Amino acid sequence: MTAPKKLYVKTYGCQMNVYDSERMTEALAGQGYVATDSADDADMILLNTCHIREKAAEKVYSELGRYKDLKAEKPDLRIGVAGCVAQAEGEEIMRRQPMVDLVVGPQSYHRLPELEARARSGSKALDTDFPEDDKFAALKGRGPKARRGPTAFLTVQEGCDKFCAFCVVPYTRGAEVSRPVAQVLDEAQELVARGVREITLLGQNVNAYHGAGPGGEWTLAQLIRELATIDGLARIRFTTSHPNDMDDDLIAAHGDCDKLMPYLHLPVQAGSDRILKRMNRKHTAESYLRLIERLRAARPDLHLSGDFIVGFPEETEADFQATLDLVEAVGYGSAFSFKYSTRPGTPAAERAQVPEDVKTERLQRLQALLTRQQRALQDAMVGREVDVLFEKPGRMPGQMVGKSDYLHAVHVTDTAIAPGDLRRVRITESGPNSLGGTLA
C-alpha cells in the first residue's frame, strides 16, 4: 500500500481563509495527501495568503525564503501559494521565488488536484483566473465523515461590489456571488452529522447574500431561518457584515430566531462623515448609529464588534475625534483597529498620507478606549448565567474552554464536561481576555 503524501497548509488572515484551507486540504485528499502540522515532514507546502494587512506580499516572500534550504534537501517537495496574494501577484511570485511550483487564486482552488499533478510532473502551475464554473459545485463533499470539533465556518458568499477606497478585495476575490441555498444546506447538514453544533456563515459581505433557492433569490435572514430547522445545530453566527446590507428581516431575525447568537460584527471604519465619504463607504455615522438602535431594539442584549481604520488619508484630529465619539456612543464588546496602510491600485493609495507617528498615537488612544469598553462589558457578565459551547481542554487539569452566546471565551473546571457540550454556566470571574465560571 502506498504511503500517503503529507500536506502542510499555513493559513493567513480571515475566517474565510480558514474555511478555504479546509476545502483545499479536502480537495487534495483525492491525490493521496493527508494533513501534517510540520513543514519539515511535508511533501507539499501550501501558503494560503491574505492581502489585507500591511506588507502582506513581502511577508509571504519572507516565509517562502525560510523553505529554501528545505527545498534543497528535498527536491521532490512541492511548494504552492494560494489566496489573495497569489491572485494579486500571480507570475511575480514565481519570478521572485523560482522554487514555487504552484500558484492558485481564491476562486480557482477547486482546480488544485490538476494543478498539483502538473507541478508533480515538473511543470509550473499557475491559475489566477475568475472561472465561470462554480468552485463549490466542483468541490466534493466535506471529506470523510470523521467526527470534528463542535464549531465550523461555512462560506456562503464571496466577493465585494462596494469598492471601498482602501480595499483590494474586489480585485482579489471578484464580484459578489452567493452560493445556492440547497448547496449551503447540504454542507451544513454534513457538518452537523460530523458533530458540529455551531456554524458561522462567512462572506466578504455576508449580509448581501442572495443565493438561488425555492421561489427565487433568498436573503441571509431566510437562509438563517432555514438553517435553524436543522436538528442538532444549536447555534448560528455570521460575519462580516456591511451596514448598508442590514435589511429589516435580518434585524428582526436577531430578535425572533433563537439559534442566531446575540453577537454581531458590523464594521463602521470611521466616525467622521467626511472620511466615510472619502472611503466610499456610502453610509454616515448617524445612519450607523440609528441602525445600532434598531438592532438593539430587536435584541437588547446584543454585543457589537467593529472594525476601525485610523489615519486614513487626510484624516484630521477632528475627524479622529468623531470616531472616538461614535465608539463612546455604541459601546463595543470587541473591535479590531488598525493604522491605515496603502494598497497599490486602490484610490486611497494616491492621496496625501497622515504621518506615521500621528497614526500610531491615534491608534493607541482608540485602542485604549475600546479596551476599556471591552473590559467593562466583560466585568458586567460576572453574576450572570450564559450558555457555553465547550470546545477543548484548557491549560489547567480538568479545565474546559468554550464560547458564550456573546462569543466570550469561558473556562470552567469540571471533569463532567466534554467537547461539544452546551451547558449553562454562572460567570464568577472576569479576566483580561476570558471569563471563568461554574456549571449552573
Give the per-residue pLDDT at 421: 97
164 is in an annotated binding site: yes
DSSP states of 327-388: HHHH--SEEEEEE----TTSGGGGSPPPPHHHHHHHHHHHHHHHHHHHHHHHHTTTT-EEEE
Mean pLDDT of 372-385: 97
> HSE-up of 74 (CA within 13 Å, CB side)?
14
Mean pLDDT value of segment 221-249 = 97
User: Is the pLDDT at 268 greater than 90, yes or no?
Assistant: yes
- pLDDT for 14: 81
Lowest mean pLDDT among 73-87, 161-175, 289-303, 372-386: 161-175
**Percentage of the chain with pLDDT > 70?**
96
Residue 257 in marked binding region? no
pLDDT at 140: 65
The mean pLDDT value for 300-306 works out to: 97
CATH class of 5-127: alpha beta
Per CATH, which fold does 141-261 belong to? Transcription Regulator spoIIAA (3.30.750)
Q: What end-to-end distance do the CA atoms of the chain give, in Å?
A: 52
For residue 370, give the C-alpha cell.
475600546
Cell numbers for 350, please give them. Answer: 494616491
* Each residue's pLDDT tens digit, 87-136: 888 889 989 999 999 999 888 888 899 999 999 999 999 988 776 667 77
pTM for the structure as a whole? 0.86
CATH architecture designation of domain 385-439: Beta Barrel (2.40)
Mean per-residue pLDDT, 59-85: 91
Nearest to 20 by CA among 80, 86, 109, 90: 109
Domain boundaries of the chain, sorted by first residue: 5-127, 141-261, 385-439
Tens digit of each residue's pLDDT (9 = 90 or more) over 183-231 = 999 999 999 999 999 999 999 999 999 999 999 999 999 999 999 999 9
- What the block records as the C-alpha cell of 172 is 482579489
pLDDT at 141: 61
Round to whole Å and give the CA distance between 52 and 56.
Answer: 7
- pLDDT band, residue 175 (cuts 50/70/90): confident
Average pLDDT taken over every residue of the chain: 92
